[in-house]
């Protein structure tokens, strides 16, 4: 419940709202952005946001506690590792926005739910839903009145427990994780699911980097990147594929600027030249800020066609092999002979692929591909980094494996400054997988879990994200638990997925803010509000910290410091323990005892998880500890015991005549399904999300001018169509045949059946669409 003080603050904020809030009625603007990334534009945007959320006073204090080696909390914004050189302000614009979003003084309390029916709230925008503020107490859906009404924690757990106990088969339940969940909660969550008897553990990774994990596992036997920040500091060449750095991993800008100062080459591969691939003002360099001095973050930009990365990589490999005919140093033959398998076949495949085909599929000229290859062969040490532009494709696994192929040719593995470096999304998505969120767990993991936790885990594989929605459609999933995230909005095929979710008997969302997934619910529904990462987690044995793992396998503690948004909130581990006890009344797992002191959970984890020996001591070291990467030590846990070249055929990614390949992506002012405003500063957009970026010639050919309303119709693999109407066309510097627009709105266009047969990931970066002037 909100206090008087809260109400007063809310009124004060309301008065500020019109000036600094999103401007839904404002005129859409488009003016191409020509300034460096970060700097004062970012500072201004942060200030506006702090004012809007009423956090001008405590926002800055919290920010000083972010990403520090000694204490403080881990920024929930992204998975970029913390600075290792004692940086005092290791922060970015979007991280600050994300933290402040959690710290808002607004409350979505019982009065809000009493005032509005679910039907009414369903009409609100996603921005407006989250803008109601933090959830304050457990709520249950009342179908008679169409309202959410308060429920005690005890009764809420009983409802979950009873419904789970009454299932005919534990596989009728599915337990989703969004990548924010700390490691200790993660471990308890998967333990609960497996003790119940299911491996139905879908997670956001199924839509994100599943392809990267599978590819790295197949090629190297280590399903993660092998490099760390020290390698980034030492490398001669960085290849950055399919990442919008300035918006989605802004702390990488500092690493890029430093690399540029050192004289390293930085090649960006992206259909769009994003702001982070031009110049940046380093935000924590006060001299830079004061003098507007900016540093380049790129030495070459290759505007590949959507899905064309694999052709570029193969072209580079072909060029390396050609160069090696006269210059043997282009290849590291000794490394290839000692550590790899399948080189000869790969060489033949590269030789057999024609330049014509490589140019057509990549959308790049042969001379550009040769230039990129020359950067690669001139560098002693290279790192290839990538994100969703590579992974969210039908051939995401093959493309990541092609990245590894290229790295292997010059022995860019297992030494300083070299290797594969995927940029993960959610701040602990990598830790979730490490700690057991996996619908396809290994036998070794299950054996260890069985032995240490004395349970009998199911051996049959479970459902992932797409599989869960499909099973809901078939009526096979009755209970859905969302541990964070916004499942309904994040998954593809919105209309069909909503229908599927509504068919469940019970949906449970453990959340911090109101979102679409609370309104698209099962016949019974619960909202269980939890502590955020910035908040104090007080348990019987004292204040608790949880651990997280970043993109570069560093595990460290995160401890909240703020007063919880409401005294009724529980921590995520406590919510899980409450559900587990209610569902498994006779369980021998000491759920309540674990919650008193998270060290106890960590002690158990130390016995189950590889690389977590002595967990409690090592996680308290100043920067935490790094999980060992066998491939980094040139130990390959593959069938051959060597790093394996892959030999996949080049996919055909050129759209059919009249069609375009549309990628769905984030704006600068959003965090996945959380929309901060309708602006996308670095792409020059104001007050508009219902847009589609197109190549100017593609527009002209269709008789479309800037800001013309258009209809977008997608064609799925099964021949069905989906559409969005009245989107506004924006001419943008991008290759012909490509188009782009924002997620999650464009999930309407992504068919559920259009998932990659290699990774099972929805194909969110290559939707086949026709775009025509609006009818
Ligand atoms: N502020 C902020 N930070 C975030 C997030 C957020 O929403 N907001 N989300 C987090 C999460 S979960 C994730 S997974 C990451 C996502 O980080 P990104 O991967 O940067 O996410 P997207 O916005 O989807 O942008 C993908 C980029 O790929 C490019 N692209 C599209 N198709 C292709 C292609 O075929 N080839 C290549 N080479 N490029 C292509 C697009 O132009 C765009 O620049 O960011 C994380 N960090
Ligand atoms: N078309 C299209 N769709 C996509 C993508 C795309 O590129 N294109 N990207 C995909 C990717 S990469 C991802 S990772 C998914 C993201 O999918 P999700 O992870 O499911 O979604 P988020 O938007 O990150 O979740 C936001 C919600 O998390 C809750 N939350 C925030 N902090 C906390 C916390 O500390 N604890 C708890 N319990 N809850 C919290 C809040 O209620 C908030 O509303 O979306 C995917 N969907
Ligand atoms: Mo993600």
Tell me how far the alpha carbon of residue 488 lies from the centroid of ligand 2, in angstroms.
10
389 lines ligand 2 (CB under 6 A): no
* pLDDT number for residue 308: 98
Q: What domains can be seen in the chain, in order of their start residue?
A: 109-206+428-623 (3.40.50.740), 210-422 (3.40.228.10), 660-773 (2.40.40.20)
In tens, the pLDDT along 466-502 reads 999 999 999 999 999 999 999 999 999 999 999 999 9
515 lines ligand 2 (CB under 6 A): yes
Angle between helix axes 40-52 and 4-20 (nearest 10 degrees) is: 140
* Per-chain mean pLDDT for the chain: 91
* pLDDT number for residue 281: 77
Question: Is this model's pTM higher than 0.85 or not?
Answer: yes
Q: What is the token pair recorded at 668?
A: 């600068």
Which listed ligand is nearest to 99 at the C-alpha? Answer: 2
Would you place residue 7 in the very low, low, confident or very high pLDDT band (cuts 50, 70, 90)?
A: very low
Residue 37 C-beta-side C-alpha neighbours within 13 Å = 31
* pLDDT number for residue 279: 84
Lowest mean pLDDT among 85-89, 99-103, 374-378, 382-386: 85-89
Percent of residues, the chain, with pLDDT higher than 70: 91
Mean pLDDT of 554-567: 94
Give how far Cα 309 sits from Cα of 199, 206, 241, 360, 385, Å: 34, 21, 8, 12, 12
512 lines ligand 2 (CB under 6 A): yes
Q: Which of 46, 179, 213, 248 to mutate to test the pocket of ligand 1 (most atoms within 8 A of CB)?
A: 248
- What pairing do the DSSP bridges indicate for beta strands 506-511 and 479-483? parallel
Would you place residue 101 in the very low, low, confident or very high pLDDT band (cuts 50, 70, 90)?
A: confident
- The closest of 292, 299, 401, 421 to 341, measured between CA atoms, is 401
In this structure, which residue's CA is closest to atom 21 in ligand 2?
485
656's CB contacts (< 8 A; 6+ apart) are 768
Tell me how far the alpha carbon of residue 578 lies from the centroid of ligand 1, in angstroms.
36
Q: Taking the CB of residue 192, how many other CB atoms lie within 10 A of it?
A: 23
Tell me how far the alpha carbon of residue 178 lies from the centroid of ligand 2, in angstroms.
6
Tell me how far the alpha carbon of residue 211 lies from the centroid of ligand 1, in angstroms.
15
260 lines ligand 1 (CB under 6 A): no
99 lines ligand 2 (CB under 6 A): no
pLDDT at 738 over 50: yes
Rounded Cα distance, 75 and 606, in Å: 25
747 lines ligand 2 (CB under 6 A): yes
Rounded Cα distance, 730 and 692, in Å: 6
Rounded Cα distance, 149 and 137, in Å: 10
Tell me how far the alpha carbon of residue 22 lies from the centroid of ligand 2, in angstroms.
21
- The closest of 401, 399, 400, 418 to 342, measured between CA atoms, is 401
Mean pLDDT of 381-400: 98
pLDDT at 21 over 50: no
In tens, the pLDDT along 676-724 reads 999 999 999 999 999 999 999 999 999 999 999 999 999 999 999 999 9
243 lines ligand 1 (CB under 6 A): yes
pLDDT at 638 over 60: yes
In this structure, which residue's CA is closest to atom 46 in ligand 1?
425
* Helix boundaries (H) for 229-384: 229-234, 245-248, 251-262, 286-291, 309-326, 333-339, 343-352, 355-362, 366-378
* pLDDT number for residue 20: 31
Q: Which of 138, 393, 485 to mutate to test the pocket of ligand 2 (most atoms within 8 A of CB)?
A: 485
275 lines ligand 1 (CB under 6 A): no
Rounded Cα distance, 280 and 264, in Å: 16
Tell me how far the alpha carbon of residue 612 lies from the centroid of ligand 1, in angstroms.
31
In this structure, which residue's CA is closest to atom 4 in ligand 2?
490
In tens, the pLDDT along 43-64 reads 777 777 777 776 666 666 666 6
* pLDDT number for residue 12: 31
pLDDT at 1 over 60: no
Would you place residue 159 in the very low, low, confident or very high pLDDT band (cuts 50, 70, 90)?
A: very high
Q: Is 393 left (phi over 0), alpha (psi -120 to 50) or beta?
A: beta
* pLDDT number for residue 19: 29
Mean pLDDT of 323-350: 98
Q: Does residue 487 sit in helix, strand or coil?
A: helix
Higher confidence at residue 523 or residue 31?
Answer: 523
Tell me how far the alpha carbon of residue 496 lies from the centroid of ligand 1, in angstroms.
25
pLDDT at 260 over 90: yes
pLDDT at 523 over 50: yes
CA dihedral 520, 525, 526, 527 (to 10 degrees): 10
Which listed ligand is nearest to 744 at the C-alpha? Answer: 2
Tell me how far the alpha carbon of residue 672 lies from the centroid of ligand 3, in angstroms.
8
pLDDT at 15 over 60: no
In this structure, which residue's CA is closest to atom 32 in ligand 2?
512
Q: Is 147 left (phi over 0), alpha (psi -120 to 50) or beta?
A: beta
Would you place residue 457 in the very low, low, confident or very high pLDDT band (cuts 50, 70, 90)?
A: very high
Rounded Cα distance, 578 and 138, in Å: 13
Q: Does residue 763 sit in helix, strand or coil?
A: coil
* pLDDT number for residue 102: 86
In tens, the pLDDT along 109-147 reads 999 999 999 999 999 999 999 999 999 999 999 999 999
Lowest mean pLDDT among 16-20, 395-399, 695-699, 767-771: 16-20
In this structure, which residue's CA is closest to atom 18 in ligand 1?
243
Tell me how far the alpha carbon of residue 517 lies from the centroid of ligand 2, in angstroms.
11
In tens, the pLDDT along 25-42 reads 578 999 888 888 777 677
Percent of residues, the chain, with pLDDT higher than 90: 81
357's CB contacts (< 8 A; 6+ apart) are 311, 650
305 lines ligand 2 (CB under 6 A): no
- Residue 451: φ, ψ to 5°: -70, -50
**Cβ(106)–Cβ(131) below 8 Å:** yes
In tens, the pLDDT along 536-551 reads 999 999 999 999 998 8
Rounded Cα distance, 380 and 696, in Å: 40
411 lines ligand 1 (CB under 6 A): no
**Cβ(404)–Cβ(317) below 8 Å:** no
Rounded Cα distance, 596 and 131, in Å: 33
Tell me how far the alpha carbon of residue 8 lies from the centroid of ligand 1, in angstroms.
39
């Amino acid at each position: 419940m909100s206090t008087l003080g809260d109400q007063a603050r809310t009124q004060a904020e309301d008065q500020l709202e019109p000036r600094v809030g999103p401007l839904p009625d404002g005129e859409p603007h488009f003016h191409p952005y020509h300034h460096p990334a970060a700097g004062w534009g970012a500072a201004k945007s942060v200030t506006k946001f702090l004012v809007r959320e009423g956090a001008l006073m405590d926002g800055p204090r919290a920010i000083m506690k972010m990403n520090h080696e000694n204490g403080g909390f881990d920024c929930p914004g992204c998975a970029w590792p913390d600075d290792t050189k004692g940086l005092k302000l290791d922060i970015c614009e979007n991280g600050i926005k994300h933290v402040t979003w959690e710290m808002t003084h607004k409350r979505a309390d019982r009065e809000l739910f009493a005032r509005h029916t679910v039907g009414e709230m369903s009409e609100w925008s996603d921005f407006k839903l989250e803008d109601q503020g933090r959830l304050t107490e457990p709520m249950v859906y009342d179908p008679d009145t169409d309202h959410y009404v308060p429920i005690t924690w005890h009764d809420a757990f009983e409802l979950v427990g009873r419904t789970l106990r009454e299932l005919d088969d534990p596989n009728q339940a599915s337990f989703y994780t969004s990548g924010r969940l700390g490691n200790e909660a993660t471990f308890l969550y998967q333990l609960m699911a497996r003790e119940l008897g299911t491996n139905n553990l879908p997670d956001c990774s199924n839509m994100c980097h599943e392809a990267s994990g599978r590819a790295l596992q197949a090629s190297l036997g280590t399903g993660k990147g092998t490099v760390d920040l020290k390698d980034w500091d030492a490398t001669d060449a960085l290849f950055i594929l399919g990442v919008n750095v300035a918006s989605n991993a802004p702390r990488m800008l500092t690493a890029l600027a430093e690399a540029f100062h050192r004289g390293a080459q930085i090649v960006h591969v992206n259909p769009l030249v994003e702001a982070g691939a031009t110049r940046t003002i380093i935000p924590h360099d006060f001299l830079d800020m004061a003098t507007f001095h900016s540093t380049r973050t790129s030495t070459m930009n290759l505007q590949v066609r959507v899905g064309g990365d694999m052709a570029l990589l193969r072209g580079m490999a072909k060029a390396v092999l050609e160069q090696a005919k006269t210059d043997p140093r282009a290849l590291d033959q000794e490394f290839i002979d000692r550590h790899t398998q399948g080189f000869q076949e790969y060489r033949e495949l590269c030789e057999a692929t024609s330049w014509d085909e490589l140019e057509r599929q990549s959308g790049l000229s042969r001379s550009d591909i040769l230039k990129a290859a020359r950067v690669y062969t001139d560098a002693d040490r290279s790192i290839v980094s990538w994100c969703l532009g590579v992974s969210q494709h039908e051939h995401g696994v093959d493309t990541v494996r092609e990245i590894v192929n290229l790295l292997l040719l010059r022995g860019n593995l297992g030494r300083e400054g070299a290797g594969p470096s995927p940029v993960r999304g959610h701040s602990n998505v990598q830790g979730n997988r490490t700690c057991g969120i996996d619908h396809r767990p290994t036998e070794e993991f299950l054996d260890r879990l069985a032995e240490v936790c004395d349970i009998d885990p199911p051996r049959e594989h479970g459902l992932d994200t797409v599989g869960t929605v499909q099973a809901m459609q078939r009526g096979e999933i009755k209970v859905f638990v969302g541990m964070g995230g916004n499942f309904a909005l994040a998954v593809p095929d919105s209309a069909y997925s909503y229908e599927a979710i509504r068919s469940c008997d019970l949906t449970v969302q453990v959340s911090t803010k109101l979102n679409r997934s609370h309104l698209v619910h099962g016949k019974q529904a619960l909202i269980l509000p939890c502590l955020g990462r910035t908040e104090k987690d007080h348990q019987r044995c004292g204040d608790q910290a949880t651990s997280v793992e970043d993109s570069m396998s560093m595990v460290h503690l995160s401890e909240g410091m703020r007063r919880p948004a409401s005294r009724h909130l529980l921590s995520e581990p406590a919510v899980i323990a409450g559900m587990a006890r209610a569902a498994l009344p006779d369980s021998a797992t000491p759920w309540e005892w674990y919650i008193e002191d998270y060290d106890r959970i960590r002690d158990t984890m130390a016995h189950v998880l590889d690389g977590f020996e002595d967990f409690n001591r090592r996680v308290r070291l100043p920067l935490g500890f790094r999980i060992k990467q066998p491939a980094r030590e040139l130990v390959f846990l593959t069938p051959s015991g060597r790093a394996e070249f892959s030999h996949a055929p080049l996919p055909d990614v050129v759209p059919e005549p009249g069609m375009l390949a549309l990628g769905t992506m984030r704006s600068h002012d959003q965090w996945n399904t959380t929309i901060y405003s309708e602006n996308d500063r670095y792409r020059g957009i104001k007050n508009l999300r219902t847009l589609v970026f197109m190549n100017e010639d593609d527009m002209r050919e269709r008789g479309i001018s800037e800001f013309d309303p258009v209809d977008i119709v997608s064609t799925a693999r099964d021949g069905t169509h989906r559409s969005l109407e009245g989107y506004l066309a924006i001419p943008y510097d991008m290759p012909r045949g490509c188009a782009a627009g924002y997620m999650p709105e464009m999930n309407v266009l992504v068919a559920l059946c259009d998932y990659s047969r290699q990774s099972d990931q929805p194909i969110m970066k290559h939707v086949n669409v026709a775009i025509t002037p609006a009818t």
